[in-house]
Structure 1
Amino acid sequence: MDPVLRMGGARQTAWYASDTSPNTFPHLPVREGEPVLLGLALFDDAQAFDAFANSESWQREVAPGLAPWLTKDPETHRLQPTARSALHA
């Protein structure tokens, strides 16, 4: 997945998976029994992300391999740094 994102213009990527250990801090809301894979990709700007999304390389090269593992449709969320974010530095 990383090579497709990087070739598509992502300059940083990160991957996080569910921690299956018991929740020992009940004030923290945790979804138990739902395995989740979260991927983050940092693009230089919205145009770079749009170019990647419009290339359909993810749909061609990654989505077919992920499909057998999915129990729900993937979600995509576009986040933007706030004015005080260190990403502007």
Structure 2
Amino acid sequence: MALLITDECINCDVCEPECPNGAISQGDETYEIDPSLCTECVGHYETAQCVEVCPVDCIIKDPNHEESEDALRAKFERIAGGN
């Protein structure tokens, strides 16, 4: 499942540089996560780095983009293979 930044985001800028896939970018009002690039850090780290550094706990699992661990790993391999 990809992650989602809620409207509780305070635009503190700490999550964006932590994303190894470049899935986080500044949106119109808050940061946003591109679900096609989000692997919840599978393939890179044990835990999602954006969740770890977020000071307001506004990053949640996106209910509109449910993915298994295997699907996240396959996405990581696709993204990593494209570099």
The reply to whether TM is greater than 0.5 is: no
TM-score by length of 1: 0.30
Q: Say which one has the larger Rg.
A: 1
Greater fraction of residues in helix = 1
**Greater relative CO (CA pairs within 8 A, separation 6+):** 2
TM-score by length of 2: 0.31
